[in-house]
Structure 1
C-alpha cells in the first residue's frame, strides 16, 4: 500500500511517499480499514517537527484522523462488519500507524459509524476537532445554556466546531477572527459578537458586550499572549480552558487567583498517549453523539482543502503558514 512516512524529525521534506505492506490485524478485536481520507491537524505538524511521544519509533505514519470502509475484521469483532463506513481518531503519534496511508488498523472500540449525511472523505476532518471541542466545552468548562463564551480563532478547525457546539448548548457566543472572510463564516454559524482581533482590543470588546462582567467561559485555541490577556476577559469566578501550554508568571497567577478563575487544559490525545482504554471508549462515544448532531444538521465541518495523499507536505505547509479556515484532508483515491 502507499503511505506517507515521517522518516525523521524535521521539516516537511521528511514526509516521504513509500510503498509498504498492508497492515495485518494486531488482535482479534481489530479492524482493517481502507481509508478514504485522513484529516490533517496542527498536532501532526508538531509531531513531524518533534516526535514528542515516541521519538524512537521512526519512521512513522502520522495522522490521527481517518475515515473509510471496513475491509477486514478480527474473529472477535462484534461492533462492525466488512463494508461498514466508519470514522475515528486513532494512531498517528508514533505508537501505532496513523492515517496518512491507504489502509490502517484499529481496535473496534475506538471506531464509530460515520455520520450518515456526511461524505466519507469529509468525515475524516471531524474526529479530533469534535472530541477536542466537546471535552473542552462540555467536560472541562461545563458550559450551560444562557452562559456566555469567548471562542478564540473561531473560524479555525477546532474553533468553528466549538462555535457550533456552543450554539447547540444554548450559549451566547463572542468570537475572535482575523479578517472579513472569517467574520462572514462565523456570522453564518450564529456568532452573537464578532471581534476582529487585528483591529480591536478583544478584552475591551468582550467587557463592553457583557456590561463589564466578562464571559463565563473563555476557550483559548491560540495560547501565548492571547491566553494571558484572556484572564481579564473572563468574569469573576469564570473558567478559561486552553489547548496550549502557556507559562504563567507570578503576576498571571495572582490575577487568576484574585479573579477566582478556574484554569483548565485540554489535550484530547491524553487517552492514547497514556493508553487509557476506557477513556478511549468514552471518546468514541463522543464521536457517536457528534454523528447524531451532524445528522440532525446541528453540526458540520468545513473542509477548505482537499489534497491527494502524496501532497501531505503541502498540507503541513498550509497549516504552518497560519490563518487556516476550516480543515484540510488528504484523499486516498
Structure 2
C-alpha cells in the first residue's frame, strides 16, 4: 500500500509517498479499514515541523481523521462487519498508525458508523473539528440557550462547525473573519454578526453587538495574542476557552477582575494520555453530531481535496491561511 511518511521534521517537502506492507489484524477487536479519505488538520503540520507527540516517533504517518470501509474484522469484533462505512479520529500522532495511508488497522472502540448522508470526503473532514468544537462549547463553556457567543476564525475548520453547534444550542453568534468571502460563509452557517479583524476593533465591535455587556462565551481558535485581546470582550462571569497554549507572559488581571472562567481545550488528550472513559465520551459526541448531520442540521464545508501524493501541497495551502473549512486527501480507489 502507499502512505505519506515523514522520516524527519521540516517543511512540506519531508512528506514522502512511499510503499509499505499492508497492516494486518493483530488483536481480537481490530478492524482493517480501507481508507477512502483523510482529513488534513493544523496538528498535522505542527507534528511535521516539530516531531511526533507519541513515543512511537519517526518514521511517522500523519493524519488523525479518517473515513473508509471495513475490509476485515478480528474475532472479538461485535459492532461492525466487512463492508461497513466508518469515520474516526484516531492516530497520526507518531509511528505508522496514521490516516495518510491506503489502509490502517484500528481498534473498534475508536470507530463510529459513518453518517449515512455524508460522502467519504466530508466524513473524513469532520471528526477532529466536531469533537474540538463540541468539547469547547458544551464541556468546557457549558453553553446554554440565549447566550451570546464569540467564535474566532468562523470560516476556519473548527470555527465553521462551532458556529453551527452554538446556534443549535440556542445561542446567538458573532465571529471574526478576514474578508467578505469568509463573512458570507459564516453568515450562511448561522453567524449573526461578523467582525473583520483587519479593519475593526474587536472589543468595540463586540460591545456594540452586546449593548456593552460583552459575550457570555468566547472561543479562541487562533493563539496567545487573540486570547489576550479577547479578555475585555467577555462579559463578567463569562467563559473564555482557547484551543492553544496562551503563552507564559499573560497578564490575567482583567480576566480576574471579570471573574472569567478560563478553559483549555485539546481533543487529543484521550489519545495522548490513553483515557478510555474520555474516548467513550468522544464516541458519543461523534454519534450525536452524526445524527445532526443526517437530519440536515449540521454540515462540514470542504474547501478542496488532494490526491494522496499531493499531501505536501495540502500542507502548503493550509499554512498560507487561505482555507475556508477543511482540506481532505481523497484516497478513493475508484478514482
TM-score (ref. length: structure 1) = 0.97
3-state SS of 1:232 partner: helix
Deviations 1:227-259 (A, max 9, x none): 101000000010000001012546x21111111
Q: How many residues align?
A: 332
3-state SS of 1:317 partner: helix
Using the alignment, how far apart are the partners of 1:51 and 1:202 within structure 2?
35
Distance 1:143 1:24, change over 3 A: same
Using the alignment, how far apart are the partners of 1:141 and 1:194 within structure 2?
21
Deviations 1:104-144 (A, max 9, x none): 11110110111111112210000000000000001000010
Q: Is 1:173 paired with 2:150?
A: no
Deviations 1:174-228 (A, max 9, x none): 1110000001101111211111111111111001111111000000001121110
Which residue of the partner structure matches residue 6 of structure 1? Answer: 6
3-state SS of 1:150 partner: strand
Distance 1:246 1:324, change over 3 A: same
Using the alignment, how far apart are the partners of 1:160 and 1:263 within structure 2?
22
Distance 1:56 1:111, change over 3 A: closer
Which residue of the partner structure matches residue 125 of structure 1? Answer: 125
- 1:56 is displaced (CA, Å) by 5.8
5+ unaligned residues in a row in structure 2: which ranges? none
Q: After the TM superposition, which residues 282-293 of structure 1 pair with which residues of structure 2 at under 5 Å, given as runs? A: 282-293=281-292
- 1:52 is displaced (CA, Å) by 4.5
Using the alignment, how far apart are the partners of 1:82 and 1:36 within structure 2?
15
Which residue of the partner structure matches residue 190 of structure 2? Answer: 190
Which residue of the partner structure matches residue 274 of structure 1? Answer: 273
Using the alignment, how far apart are the partners of 2:322 and 2:235 within structure 1?
28
3-state SS of 2:60 partner: coil
Using the alignment, how far apart are the partners of 2:2 and 2:148 within structure 1?
47
Computed over aligned residues only, the root mean square deviation of the Cα atoms, in angstroms, reads 1.1
- 1:323 is displaced (CA, Å) by 3.0
Using the alignment, how far apart are the partners of 1:78 and 1:120 within structure 2?
23
Which residue of the partner structure matches residue 321 of structure 1? Answer: 320
Using the alignment, how far apart are the partners of 2:56 and 2:183 within structure 1?
43
Conserved 8 A contact 1:68-1:121: no
Using the alignment, how far apart are the partners of 2:109 and 2:55 within structure 1?
27
Using the alignment, how far apart are the partners of 2:303 and 2:209 within structure 1?
31
Using the alignment, how far apart are the partners of 1:249 and 1:90 within structure 2?
33
Moved more, 76-85 or 323-332: 323-332
Which residue of the partner structure matches residue 231 of structure 1? Answer: 231
Using the alignment, how far apart are the partners of 1:196 and 1:248 within structure 2?
28
TM-score (ref. length: structure 2) = 0.97
5+ unaligned residues in a row in structure 1: which ranges? none
Which residue of the partner structure matches residue 89 of structure 1? Answer: 89
Q: After the TM superposition, which residues 99-110 of structure 1 pair with which residues of structure 2 at under 5 Å, given as runs? A: 99-110=99-110
Deviations 1:133-162 (A, max 9, x none): 000001000010000000000000000000
Using the alignment, how far apart are the partners of 1:107 and 1:244 within structure 2?
29
